[in-house]
Amino acid sequence: MLMDLWMSLLLVWITCVSSASMTPIIGQSRSTQTGGPAAVASGLGEGQRLLSRAKRGWVWNQMFVLEEFSGRDPILVGRLHTDLDVGNKNIKYVLSGEGAGTIFAINELTGDIHAMKRLDREEKAEYTLKAQVVDADNNEPLEPPSEFIIKVQDINDNPPQFIEGPYHASVPEMSAVGTPVTRVTATDADDPVYGNSAKLVYSILDGQPYFSVDPNTATIKIALHGMDREMREEYLVVIQAKDMGGHMGGLSGTTTVTVTLTDINDNPPKFSKSLYEFVIPEDRTVGEVGGRVKANDRDIGENAKSTYNIIEGDDQGSFEIITDTQTQEGILRLKKPLDYENKRTFTLKVEATNIRAEPSPSGGPFKDTATVKITVEDTDEPPVFSKPMYLLEVKENAPINTVIGTVTARDPDASGSLVRYFIDRHTDLERQFNINVDDGKITLAKALDRETDTWHNITVTATEVRNHSQISRANVAIRVMDINDNAPEFADEYDAVLCENGKPGQVVQIVSAVDKDDPIQGHYFDYRLVPEMLNNPNFTIKNNQDNTISILAKHDTFRRQKQKLYYLPIIVTDNGNPPMSSTNTLTIRVCGCSKEGIVGSCNAEASVLPIGLSMGALIAILACIILLLVIVVLFVTLRRHKNEPLIIKDDEDVRENIIRYDDEGGGEEDTEAFDIATLQNPDGINGYLPRKDIKPDLQFMPRAGQHSGPNGVDVDEFINVRLHEADNDPTAPPYDSIQIYGYEGRGSMAGSLSSLETASSDSDQNYDYLREWGPRFRRLGELYSIYNSCGV
């Protein structure tokens, strides 16, 4: 109701002002332009000046219209008038521009402008239009158009809005009063320069007494001292923004701000119990967990993390405590083995301390302590060796059953069970050692050789007599000590070469020796020639003082043709106790050398061979020549004895043609089943009619050849006569036939291969070479000879 009343009063005031401003100022127009037109723009505000033009009688200014007017009739914005409108002229007013005809309409006769629709300043604050006076009869313009503006006047029709809300903010707990938390911002769509429609004032509706808000800047601040996150972590604050400067009748909008208190390290860690008790068996291995303690911290994140330390009660360093990063527990672990017989209880004092230590508001320390009592539980322990590893020595020539050393172990339990000793045979596969099961003495079972194995590593086990499951192990390393039992020998199989053109005193070879033994004082070798070669006329030796000797030639008359190999036996003796020696023979070859001393050939035959060609090369050449001759001889022999094979394949047999039918025939009365004329010479056949319902698999293909056999006998005529007689024989079975061997086919370039039509004489057919192929071919040759002699 109050809003409607204000709207009505404002409308009456605007209407009155508009009516007063619509009075035409004709006198002024006439004073500025004699006889010219004049116009008055209604809606002029107080203090606004009139604009006059010399060319027309319009006087323009801005017009105003109230937004959100909701009356039943269109609202009058203003009235236009011109000096041409004297009452007797037929003129009309024309309006164009933004909203002309839709939002704004003009009375063509009176010039009144009305707003036809409800206007919203927030959509469009002003409209630019043009007015013109035209002739009512022909629409001819009487004056040029003039432009004017209609502004929409604002009313308080938009409440404040928090565009960015709802808000979230955070502030550290225990912050001082007045600490800024965040700032909110509201916007008002009304005109900020017209009245107080957009003047906002902020206030807090919900969130007191914890927070406050500045009414002008909308900054939210801490209003209560000692806000603790552990008591309450989150707060919901409601902020209101009201326009019209906060006065009655203004519009308002609200938003929410969620304020979260962030954690600070204001709480120390606190053990859930002041005393922890654990029982740990004495056989628990080093590194295993003995127990867990936990100090709780009301803080969160990094502020809640703590470290644990043992500050009292662990003088021997038997325990350690670490922090579980996932659960923030203190894990108590064994750092040394426990022994029930030595110490049965431990009382430790454990401290938990915050990693991040900040000054506490209460001033207390950020740590806490607890007592941990540990009881060691007695268990049946395995035997314990006096040493974790034993080192023993034995000479390689020690006799069997020699005692190498002794290992000892004891049962640490109070009962003190007896112990038995054994050797793990997986570490002594060759069973070179034995051990006494009662006293742990290790003896030699097989002879040792240092040169084969210098070290032997075995494992000895100790087992309780009353509980065989309690076993412990110890490593025993046995070193085999060296004795001088190997004679020295040449370090290599030397290939000594002596140039026959060398000078006396030339070094033939430098010789060194090796010894498998390893004396403590090191090796020293003595070299000498065998007694039989002390006065050797060809060679002598020279000691190089570095355990090597040089073999020297005594003269320069060495010749390969005279002697190409020399054998020089040398005795090598070591410095052991007793000394060992061996005789080694050095083989020296006499070779031909160039002037630069480069070895050429060492064979005696090389002196008689052509220069640059050795005996091996000549032998290789001769072998190649002989191999080529053998190949040529074999090739010629095979060419001479090459002949056609005696057994001819069926598909290569040109002497006969077999005709096959897939029909058994119809008996003697079947005249079309078979025609014997197909076996005759096709050159003499006038034609025949084979069976049309049967097609032979292999067609008879006649071949051209000779028709006269030996002694002038016509083979074709002879066969035809025999066939005719066979066909007229009623006692003969049907479909009899005879193979033709005298016909080789038509157009064969090879001619006949049959002996029936050969024109050669007996002298041309010689089958003696078949006798050389063996008994079977010898008989075949005799048959062929008889066959030709009979003229068959």
User: Over the stretch 540-587, which tens digit does the pLDDT of each residue have?
Assistant: 888 898 889 998 988 888 888 888 888 889 999 988 888 888 999 999
Angle at 277 between CA 276 and CA 280, to 5 degrees: 135
What is the pLDDT at residue 726? 63
How far apart (Å, rounded) are the C-alpha atoms in residues 392 and 527?
37
User: Over the stretch 408-432, which tens digit does the pLDDT of each residue have?
Assistant: 999 888 777 899 999 999 999 999 9
Angle at 270 between CA 265 and CA 272, to 5 degrees: 145
The per-residue DSSP string of 382-417 comes to PPEES-SEEEEEEETTPPTT-EEEE--EE--STT--
- What lies within 8 Å, CB to CB, of 246 at 6+ separation is 201, 203, 215
Residue 599: DSSP 8-state? B
DSSP bridge pairs for 345: 375
The per-residue DSSP string of 230-293 comes to TT--EEEEEEEEESGGG-TT--EEEEEEEEEEEP-S-S--EES-SEEEEEEETTPPTT-EEEEE
10 Å CB burial of residue 281 (0-12, 13-18, 19+) is: middle
What is the pLDDT at residue 347? 94
How far apart (Å, rounded) are the C-alpha atoms in residues 318 and 336?
5
How far apart (Å, rounded) are the C-alpha atoms in residues 331 and 289?
7
CB 236, CB 255: distance < 8 Å = no
What is the pLDDT at residue 506? 85
CB 288, CB 333: distance < 8 Å = yes
What is the pLDDT at residue 183? 94
How far apart (Å, rounded) are the C-alpha atoms in residues 257 and 235?
8
What does the buried/exposed string (b/e) look like for 769-778 if buried means 16 or more CB atoms within 10 Å of the residue's CB?
ebeeeeeeee
How far apart (Å, rounded) are the C-alpha atoms in residues 181 and 531?
115
Q: Given the structure tokens 């579980």, which residue do they identify?
A: 324
**E strand or H helix that includes residue 354:** strand 345-354
CB 672, CB 691: distance < 8 Å = yes
How far apart (Å, rounded) are the C-alpha atoms in residues 537 and 533?
9
* Low-confidence stretches of the chain (pLDDT beneath 50): 1-6, 11-59, 606-611, 648, 652-655, 678-680, 682-711, 735-736, 742-743, 756-763
What is the pLDDT at residue 611? 45
Q: Given the structure tokens 């539980």, which residue do they identify?
A: 377
CA distances from 486 to 400, 452, 512, 514 (A): 21, 12, 16, 10
- What lies within 8 Å, CB to CB, of 56 at 6+ separation is 36, 37, 39, 82, 143, 144, 146
Residue 676: DSSP 8-state? G
Angle at 782 between CA 776 and CA 786, to 5 degrees: 145
Please choose, from the candidates 73, 63, 64, 72, the residue with its C-alpha nearest in 3D space to the C-alpha of residue 10.
64
Rg of the Cα atoms in the chain: 69
How far apart (Å, rounded) are the C-alpha atoms in residues 466 and 482?
43
- What lies within 8 Å, CB to CB, of 280 at 6+ separation is 290, 291, 334, 338, 374, 375, 376, 377
Residue at 650: amino acid letter:
D
CA distances from 1 to 13, 387, 493, 520 (A): 19, 108, 132, 126
Residue 629: DSSP 8-state? H
Peptide bond into 209 cis (omega under 30): yes
Please choose, from the candidates 182, 185, 205, 183, the residue with its C-alpha nearest in 3D space to the C-alpha of residue 260.
182
How far apart (Å, rounded) are the C-alpha atoms in residues 267 and 244?
49
Residue at 690: amino acid letter:
P
How far apart (Å, rounded) are the C-alpha atoms in residues 398 and 478?
13
How far apart (Å, rounded) are the C-alpha atoms in residues 136 and 698?
123
Residue 340: DSSP 8-state? T
- What lies within 8 Å, CB to CB, of 70 at 6+ separation is 118
What is the pLDDT at residue 2? 42
Q: Given the structure tokens 């009487």, which residue do they identify?
A: 142
